[in-house]
Structure 1
Amino acid sequence: MTPNLFDSPQLDLLGGQAEPAQTHRLFFALLPDEATRAEFARVADTLKASQPGLRARWVAPARYHATVHFLGDHPMLRGDIVQAATRAGAALQAGAFDWTLDCIASFHGREPPCVLRSNEVPAPLQQLWVQLREALIRAGQGAHLSRSFTPHVTLGYSRGGLLPELPVGPLAWRVDQLALVHSVVGQGDYRLLHAWPLS
């Protein structure tokens, strides 16, 4: 029987087995403290219990975050991008603020995200997004930046339909830190590269 070449391990140029390609993701995020993370996890547990027909891939509580700006997917961790993003983060002048999340909703997508969000975006959060966007553009990192902002915390990814909007909480989050985060797609942990207090 002739071996199927597509089932064979990929070899490198020296004939050894090649490492699978990795995707390195960089983003600025707001990271909840332990107590707030626990509140979000309780909402996720309630959602699972109240929506038994919802098939979803749930996010581990340690990975809960709100993305402020996405800096792209890359085949390796790019030191030049990290340095430019660090300069942008260090130049930011923003204070801590309160963010109240009060509903669960879904976004469209291949695996529609189930998210926690708020009906009203706090003005300091919107200003943080604008100021950081401007700083990143000045630092030459505007290529992947979104033109709009819908702040949210992803709880899971649906493998079925969209979730109807549901009221929750309200859940109060005192946001007092901005972080530059690195992750490898498909691996569990996030790596905190830099963090700046909002004060």
Structure 2
Amino acid sequence: MPRHVSSSPQLDLLGGNHPQPTHRLFLALLPGEAVARRIEAAAAAVAASQPLRARMVRPARYHLTLHFLGDSPMRREDVARAAMAAASQVRAEPFELVLDTASAFHGREPPCVLRCTESPAGLQALWKDLRLALVRAGVGGHLSPQFTPHVTYAYAHGALPPTVPIEPIAWWVDGFALLHSIVGGGAYQMLDAWRLQP
């Protein structure tokens, strides 16, 4: 006789819920300390200039996602190894990225973001080459077909903030990283990183 499997959350011995953590893997650009400080200052200025109700992102979590590799109840070491092998095959030159606009995306908790009016050719080439390498490595199941470069600085509660210009932030990009995180958790864990070579 088959056992009945309950769909209720598992309880501990005291009756409390212990939800399963969600592990996330992604490839991203990470700003240096000076750029992170400028992103933080721009975020504070945007928040102060409009009635923005939002949960601000800590500077240690600023990043620009290149490719999302999926969520799972445990860290997928097989996906991480395949992504590392794929990333190590990519050759790209350093480039400058300029964040010059603050805007927001729709969503359950809408992300407030900094974006670039013009996405540099070097960034687009890196995204495309990485995407191709990941697909060839067999870890392309979660890859987006489109790329909108952005750095999330807050998550809005209520109305979306309008799109406004900011003082341009020049970001010299000379590398990217594979990151692991626990959704809703603390700092990211860098699993590997690659330098861009002229």
Task: Calculate the TM-score normalised by the size of structure 1.
Answer: 0.91
Alignment of 1:123-134 (within 5 A): 123-134=121-132
Flag the 1:128–1:10 CA change in 2: closer, same or farther, 3 A. same
Alignment of 1:173-192 (within 5 A): 173-192=171-190
The 2-side partners of 1:85 and 1:112 are apart by 29
Q: Is 1:76–2:74 an aligned residue pair?
A: yes
Q: State the partner residue of 1:95.
A: 93
Letter in 2 for 1:32: P
Q: Which whole-Å deviations, capped at 9, do the CAs of 1:54-81 have from their partners, x for residues lacking one?
A: 1101100111000000001011001100
Letter in 1 for 2:81: Q
Letter in 2 for 1:137: V
Q: State the partner residue of 2:5.
A: none
The 1-side partners of 2:11 and 2:119 are apart by 48
In structure 1, the residue corresponding to 2:24 is in which secondary structure?
strand
> What displacement does 1:188 show?
1.3
Which consecutive residues of structure 1, in runs of 5 or more, have no partner in the other structure? 1-7
The 2-side partners of 1:171 and 1:185 are apart by 28
The root-mean-square deviation of aligned C-alpha atoms, in Å, is 2.0
- Structure 2 contact 97–120 (Cα < 8 Å) conserved: yes
The 1-side partners of 2:17 and 2:55 are apart by 29
Q: Which whole-Å deviations, capped at 9, do the CAs of 1:105-164 have from their partners, x for residues lacking one?
A: 111111111100011100010010100000000000110000000000001010011111
> What displacement does 1:20 show?
3.0
- Structure 2 contact 110–157 (Cα < 8 Å) conserved: yes
Flag the 1:17–1:107 CA change in 2: closer, same or farther, 3 A. closer
Q: State the partner residue of 1:10.
A: 11
What is the identity percentage for the equivalent residue pairs of Structure 1 and Structure 2?
A: 53
Flag the 1:158–1:140 CA change in 2: closer, same or farther, 3 A. same
User: Number of aligned pairs?
Assistant: 190
Alignment of 1:53-64 (within 5 A): 53-64=51-62
- Structure 2 contact 23–71 (Cα < 8 Å) conserved: yes
Letter in 1 for 2:22: T
Alignment of 1:18-33 (within 5 A): 19-33=18-32
Task: Calculate the TM-score normalised by the size of structure 2.
Answer: 0.91
Higher mean alpha-carbon deviation, 18-27 vs 181-190, is at 18-27
Letter in 2 for 1:198: L
**Aligned structure 1 segments of 4 or more residues deviating by more than 4 angstroms:** 15-19
Flag the 1:18–1:159 CA change in 2: closer, same or farther, 3 A. closer
In structure 1, the residue corresponding to 2:88 is in which secondary structure?
helix
Letter in 2 for 1:36: V
Q: State the partner residue of 1:5.
A: none
Higher mean alpha-carbon deviation, 16-25 vs 165-174, is at 16-25
> What displacement does 1:11 show?
3.8
Q: Is 1:85–2:83 an aligned residue pair?
A: yes
The 1-side partners of 2:162 and 2:10 are apart by 44
Q: State the partner residue of 1:3.
A: none
Flag the 1:18–1:49 CA change in 2: closer, same or farther, 3 A. closer
Letter in 1 for 2:38: E
The 2-side partners of 1:164 and 1:40 are apart by 18
Letter in 1 for 2:106: H
